[in-house]
């Protein structure tokens, strides 16, 4: 496997106000120039792409959400609000990952532009002040939040240690919202996604905005079943992965193997031949496609 460079907060992680293609307020990540939620804005994207398909609104008991790429916290706050409304969900644990909390600070500073920030300003302030809290709602249900500051490539190991010691913290749901594999290939490597897979509860889902063949391939190779997620704005379908095939609404069909094999960019990174072969073999033999190999 290729080695993964470790990034630090010194890489620069500042956010500036920006407009989506429809003129709604959002943020631009200054160092990369990437506009967050550039199609429909943070709140709509968080709801449409992440919260609605996640199952959170109808979940029961206790859930753990791994919020990978907390940024300006749109998915995080949309999930907290979904939890507040879903009385059957007794506890929501959220593990948020980011280099630091600059996104939260930007959101708080610009709360007038973002109604979801304004109505959650108290919570955002608390998240800026501490890295862990348990918040009890009026009806006794609990939100537990833990922040892992630093490079996700390293911090996922801290999370694994944490969830080994506290098995409730195995992830039921993962939002994977890092910058694109083109600009941040180290956050989409097989080694890392295998680690994410190992951090999952037996029935878990992973949702990402990304739709590239190389992303779907690496998720399959890491062990997930993979299907289409819903479109957002003008974007093609997003991607949903799951530890169980029947959790997917629209699994990639067997002919997707052909898409992968014919893709001009089947791998996230420049991999050596052995690593490429390992990913290809895993996809060829993936249980999602077993029984259909006669087609290829």
Residues 139-178 that bind ligand SAM (CB under 6 A): 151-152, 177-178
CA distances, 239 to each of 37, 216, 217 (Å): 16, 7, 11
- Of 150, 173, 24, 157, the residue nearest 97 (C-alpha): 150
Q: CA 259 to CA 268: how far, in whole Å? A: 15
Least distance from C-beta 179 to ligand SAM, angstroms?
5
From the list 18, 24, 98, 172, which residue makes contact with ligand SAM (rule: CB under 6 A)? Answer: 98
75 binds ligand SAM (CB under 6 A): yes
- Of 49, 79, 85, the residue nearest 65 (C-alpha): 79
Q: CA 169 to CA 66: how far, in whole Å? A: 9
Least distance from C-beta 178 to ligand SAM, angstroms?
5
Least distance from C-beta 142 to ligand SAM, angstroms?
22
Q: Which is nearer to ligand SAM, 36 or 143 (CB)?
A: 36
Least distance from C-beta 49 to ligand SAM, angstroms?
10
Least distance from C-beta 148 to ligand SAM, angstroms?
8
The string of DSSP codes covering 181-238 is TTT-GGGG-HHHHHHHHHTEEEEEEEEES---HHHHHHHHHHT-EEEEEEE-TT--EE
Residues 6+ apart with CB under 8 A from 296: 254, 257, 258, 261, 284
Token pair 């002040």 in the structure block, residue = 129
From the list 59, 74, 117, 193, which residue makes contact with ligand SAM (rule: CB under 6 A)? Answer: 74
Q: Which is nearer to ligand SAM, 10 or 112 (CB)?
A: 10
Least distance from C-beta 221 to ligand SAM, angstroms?
21
252 binds ligand SAM (CB under 6 A): no
227 binds ligand SAM (CB under 6 A): no
Residues at the site binding ligand SAM, with contacts judged by CB under 6 A: 7, 13, 36, 42, 46, 69-75, 97-99, 103, 151-152, 177-179, 184, 187
């Amino acid at each position: 496997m290729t080695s993964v460079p470790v990034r630090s907060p010194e890489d620069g992680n500042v956010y500036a106000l920006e407009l989506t293609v429809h003129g709604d307020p959002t943020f631009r990540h200054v160092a990369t120039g990437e506009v967050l939620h550039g199609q429909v804005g943070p709140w709509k994207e968080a709801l449409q792409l992440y919260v609605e398909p996640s199952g959170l609104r109808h979940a029961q008991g206790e859930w753990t959400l791994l919020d990978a790429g907390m940024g300006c916290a749109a998915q995080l706050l949309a999930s907290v609000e979904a939890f507040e409304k879903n009385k059957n969900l007794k506890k929501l644990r959220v593990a948020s990952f980011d280099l630091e909390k600059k996104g939260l600070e930007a959101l708080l500073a610009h709360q007038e532009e973002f109604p979801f920030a304004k109505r959650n300003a108290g919570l955002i302030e608390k998240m800026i002040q501490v890295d862990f809290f348990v918040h009890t709602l009026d009806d006794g249900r609990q939100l537990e939040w833990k922040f892992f500051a630093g490079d996700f490539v390293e911090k996922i190991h801290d999370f694994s240690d944490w969830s080994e010691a506290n098995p409730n913290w195995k992830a039921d749901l993962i939002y994977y919202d890092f910058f694109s594999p083109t600009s941040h290939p180290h956050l989409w490597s097989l080694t890392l996604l295998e680690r994410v897979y190992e951090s999952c509860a037996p029935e878990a889902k992973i949702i990402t905005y990304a739709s590239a063949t190389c992303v779907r391939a690496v998720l399959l190779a890491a062990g997930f079943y993979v299907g289409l997620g819903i479109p957002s704005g003008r974007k093609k379908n997003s991607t949903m992965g799951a530890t169980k095939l029947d959790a997917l609404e629209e699994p990639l069909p067997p002919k997707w193997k052909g898409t992968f094999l014919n893709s001009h960019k089947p791998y996230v990174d420049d991999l050596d031949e052995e690593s490429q072969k390992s990913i290809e073999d895993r996809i060829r033999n993936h249980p999602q496609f077993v029984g259909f190999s006669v087609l290829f």
